[in-house]
């Protein structure tokens, strides 16, 4: 594919960075959030092929995501999901390490027709039950991450209505008992990251970045929004003395996706627009090229090696122009031909 228009401008920005003698070093956690697709479990040959293809694009790390599940946002019935066995989690870490990839284990809570940020109990008793269930699952996952020497473990992702609870102190202490690597929590956008009070007890500040970015064609506006968010993250890193890991950025390859970057393909039908996805990711990666940031992980990559493609309108970047953008950004080797 020959780069044209806005994509060529994005490539040029990365090529300029690569040519600068003071350009930041390659970051250890640049890579992908990898999802176990139905029928393509970690440990099988197709999943290993998908990981190898992520490595070929320039990824140096992956996030492996075992899902936890609860029936409603206010239900304390949290338990393990059905997407990944313990053996598959071990295989994911081992296969990634065999390719020279670092691994972050990043459990996420799945709530049908809702999301992790809505999880909140209505009574102290339910909070106690929810945290007991959550600790049980984190203990299990942390033990596997420690056995397999995963480089980082996220203790939670976007659980914004839980992080004011006192039980997080015990959760962190228990994780230190089970896991010897780097610990982090992944906050939802800058607003939650700024509200967290326990960063000093962790090794990294994690964050997902999905602010509204405006109209698809308003590039100047979205870059301004991005810079404002990342300036605030820089200030947070300076105030806490902790490095940052952007654990998720992403965008559907669909018309109108910039207005609601979090919106899934199931929520809205739209025509494909793979160029928009590539342009927005290029803008994010340019703005995020800062010394405080140890890595940027792209949402998302599937264990199905033939996922994606130009007609796909989901988040995956597989088989889309965004792959070229990411190779250019991750490797600092940009080629227009």
Contacts of 84 (CB under 8 A, 6+ apart): 36, 41, 42, 66, 67, 92
3-state SS, residue 1 = coil
Q: Which architecture does CATH list for 26-325?
A: Alpha-Beta Barrel (3.20)
Q: What is the pLDDT of residue 3?
A: 45
Q: Which CA distances in Å does 181 have to 100, 177, 254?
A: 17, 11, 38
Query: In terms of Cα–Cα distance, which of 290, 202, 266 is closest to 240?
Result: 202
Q: What is the pLDDT of residue 44?
A: 98
d(CA 78, CA 111) in angstroms, rounded, equals 9
Is cis: bond before 55, omega within 30 of 0? no
CA dihedral over 90, 182, 17, 288, signed as positive or negative: positive
- CA count, 13 A, side-chain hemisphere, 36: 22
- Pairing between strand 152-157 and 182-188? parallel
d(CA 293, CA 226) in angstroms, rounded, equals 14
d(CA 56, CA 261) in angstroms, rounded, equals 26
Task: Name the pTM for this structure.
Answer: 0.94
d(CA 74, CA 231) in angstroms, rounded, equals 34
3-state SS, residue 70 = coil
What are the extents of the domains in the chain?
A: 26-325
Q: What is the pLDDT of residue 21?
A: 38
Low-confidence ranges of the chain (pLDDT < 50): 1-3, 21-24
């Amino acid at each position: 594919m020959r780069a044209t228009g806005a994509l060529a401008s994005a490539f040029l920005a990365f090529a300029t960075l690569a040519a600068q003698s003071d350009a930041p070093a390659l970051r250890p956690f640049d890579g992908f959030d990898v999802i176990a697709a139905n029928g393509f479990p970690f440990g099988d040959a197709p999943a290993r092929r998908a990981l190898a293809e992520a490595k070929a694009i320039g990824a140096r790390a992956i996030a492996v995501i075992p899902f936890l599940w609860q029936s409603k946002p206010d239900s304390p019935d949290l338990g393990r999901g059905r997407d990944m066995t313990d053996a598959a989690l071990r295989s994911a870490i081992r296969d990634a390490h065999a390719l020279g990839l670092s691994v972050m284990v990043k459990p996420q809570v799945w709530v049908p027709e809702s999301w992790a940020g809505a999880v909140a109990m209505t009574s102290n008793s339910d909070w106690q039950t929810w945290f007991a269930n959550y600790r049980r699952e984190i203990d299990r996952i942390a033990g596997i991450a420690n056995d397999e020497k995963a480089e980082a473990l996220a203790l939670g992702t976007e659980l914004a209505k839980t992080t004011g609870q006192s039980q997080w102190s015990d959760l962190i202490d228990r994780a230190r008992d089970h896991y010897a690597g780097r610990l982090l929590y992944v906050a939802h956008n800058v607003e939650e990251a700024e509200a967290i009070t326990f960063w000093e007890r962790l090794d990294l500040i994690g964050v997902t970045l999905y602010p509204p970015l405006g109209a698809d064609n308003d590039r100047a506006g979205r870059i301004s929004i991005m810079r404002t968010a990342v300036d605030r993250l820089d200030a947070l890193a300076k105030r806490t003395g902790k490095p940052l890991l952007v654990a998720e950025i992403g965008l559907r390859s669909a018309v109108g996706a910039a207005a609601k970057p979090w919106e899934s393909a199931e929520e809205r039908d739209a025509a494909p627009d793979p160029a928009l996805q590539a342009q927005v990711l290029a803008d994010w990666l340019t703005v995020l090229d800062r010394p405080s940031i140890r890595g940027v992980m792209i949402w998302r990559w599937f264990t199905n090696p033939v996922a994606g493609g130009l007609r796909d309108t989901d988040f995956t970047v597989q088989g889309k122009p965004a792959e070229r953008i990411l190779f250019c950004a991750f490797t600092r080797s940009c080629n227009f031909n």
